[in-house]
Amino acid sequence: MRKLALATCFLLLFASGRVHAQTAPALTVIRAGVLIDGASDAPRKNQLIFVRGDRIEKIADGSAQVPPDTKVIDLSASTVLPGLIDSHTHIFLFGEDPAKGGYDANILNAGISLRAARATSACRRALEQGFTTLRDVETEGAGYGDVEIKQAIAEGTIPGPRLFCATRAISTTGGYNLEGYAPELDMPKGAQIIDGPVQARRAAREQLDHGADWIKVYMTHRSWIDKQGNLVSQPTLTVEELRAIVDEAHGWQRKVACHAYNGIGLQRALDGGCDSIEHGLEITDAQIAQMARQGTWYCPTLAVYYTDWGREDTAAGKRDRARAAVHEISFKKALAARLKIVFGTDIGGIPWTEPIAQEFSKMVGFGMSPMAAIQAATSRASEMLDMKGEIGVLAPGAYADVIAVSGDPLKDIGVLEHVRFVMHDGAVFKNEPTK
C-alpha cells in the first residue's frame, strides 16, 4: 500500500511538469547602496543580496547578472544591515506607569490574555524597528507565555522577531517583587523563588523542560546608597545555588544570564560561572579581569539607567544618579579590556513606544565605535546566542534578516532609530519609501 502511494505521489509530481517551479523558492535580489554586513569592519558599496526562501544565497557586486523575472528590491539609496538583535528585552512588560500602579498592577490586575495581547504588540514594535531577534529575559509573572508567543510567531499567527526565551527567571526569598505587602499574604512573585541548591536545580529543570532557551537569574535585588555614599546591592543566590543552575543549564547546552549590579552578588555570579552579566553597573578591575578570563558576555543596558531618575533630594533620586555615574565607568573599562559586549536595552522596563535603538547613542557616546556598536547588536550577539553565521550577518547561508536606513549610521548612529525596510526570514515586513 505504502509503495503504491509513494509511486502515485511521484507520478503526480512529474505529471505536472513544473516540479522545479513548485519546489525551489523564488529568488529575490536586494540592491544595496551601502552594505554593512555585521561582521566585517568596513562597509561595501553597491552590492546585491540574493535571497532564496528564508536564507541568503549569495552576495555579489552590483554589476553581477540578475536572472530575468527576478523580483528586485531597490535599496540603492540606503544603508543595508543585518536584522538587529536586542539581547535584553521583556515583551511581558509594558513600561508600567507608576501612576497606574506600576509593576504590581501588571501582575495583580492584568489577566493573561491582556498580557499576551500586550506582548504581541511588543513583538510587532520590535520587528517594525528592525529588531529581528530578541533574547527575552523573563516574563515577570507571565509564566511560560514567552514560549507560546514564540510558537505563535513561528507558526505565522502573529508577526514578530525570532525569540530566545528565558521563561520565569529565578531568584530567592526576599529577592523579587511583589513585596511590601502584609506578611500574612501569600503574594505572587515576578520570578520563580528558590532557596538551596536542590530547589535551584529543580527550577532550572522545570524551566528547561518547558522550553527555556536561556535561564535568567537575579543575583542582586534591592540597591541603595550606604553611609559612605557607595552603591550597595543586596545579593540573592549563593554561589552553590547558582552553580547548580549553571551546571544543569550547561548540561542541556543552554546558557545562564545573570542580572547583577555590583558587589557580592556580581562576584557570586562570576564565581558561579554565569555566561552573561546583565547591567553590571559597577564592575571592579579584578571582576573585569575575571570576565575576560572566563569569556563572560557583558550586556550593559545603559540607556535605561539614564532616564526617568527620581528627584535629586530623594533616596531614590540619589541612588539613580549614583548608578548612572558608576555605570559609565564600568562600560569604559569593559571597552578598554575588550570584553565581549552585546547590545541590550531592558525595553519593556521602558515603554515599547520608545525607540529601541536609543541604546546605540549611549554606547557610542561612551566611546564605542559605531561599527562596534552595530556588531554588538548583530554578529557579536549571534555568537552569544550560538547562532554565529545564521543571524546578525549578511552572508551566504544566513537567515535573510535584512534592514535598511536612510543615511550613514557610521557617521550618525541615530539613523538606526528610523529603520525604513525590514525583511525577516526572507519575507518583507516593512518597506517605506525614502523621503
Q: Tell me the residue number closest to Zn ion, measured at CB.
A: 346
346 is a site residue for Zn ion (CB under 5 A): yes
Stretch that binds Zn ion, among 100-108, 158-166, 289-297, 338-346 (CB under 5 A): 338-346
Length of the chain in terms of residues written: 435
Nearer to Zn ion, 146 or 346 (CB): 346
Shortest Cβ distance from residue 122 to Zn ion (Å)?
13
Least Å from the CB of residue 393 to Zn ion:
26
Write down the least CB distance from residue 76 to Zn ion, Å. Answer: 39
Sheet bearing 84-89, strands edge to edge: 84-89, 131-136, 162-165
> Rounded to the nearest whole angstrom, what is the least distance from the CB of residue 359 to Zn ion in the complex?
13
The reply to whether 146 sits near Zn ion by the rule CB under 5 A is no
| Count of residues engaged in binding Zn ion, rule: CB under 5 A | 1
Output DSSP code: residue 399.
B
Of 189, 218, 193, 221, the C-alpha closest to 108 is: 189
Instruction: Compute the least distance from the CB of residue 137 to Zn ion, in Å.
Output: 6
Longest dimension (CA), the chain: 84
Tell me how far apart the alpha carbons of residues 412 and 419 are, in angstroms, rounded to a whole number. Answer: 13
Give residues with Cβ within 8 angstroms of 180, minimum separation 6.
Answer: none
Is 254 in contact with 208 (CB distance < 8 Å)? yes
Q: Are strands 402-405 and 419-424 parallel, antiparallel or unpaired?
A: antiparallel
- Closer CB to Zn ion, 231 or 400, in the complex: 231
Neighbours of 308 (CB within 10 A): 11
Q: Which C-beta is closer to Zn ion: that of 197 or that of 300? A: 300
Identity of the residue numbered 246: V
From 91-99, 219-227, 341-349, 417-425, give the range in contact with Zn ion by CB under 5 A. 341-349
Distance of closest approach, residue 134 Cβ to Zn ion, in angstroms? 12
Strands 402-405 and 340-341, by their bridges, are unpaired
Q: Which of these, 248, 247, 273, 249, lies nearest to 258 by C-alpha position?
A: 273
Annotate each residue in 298-337 with x if it binds Zn ion (CB under 5 A) or - if it does not, as one string. Answer: ----------------------------------------
List the interface residues with Zn ion, window 25-84 (CB under 5 A): none
The nearer residue to Zn ion, 79 or 177, going by C-beta atoms, is 177
In terms of CB distance, is 33 or 190 closer to Zn ion? 190
Residues that bind Zn ion in the complex, under the rule CB under 5 A: 346
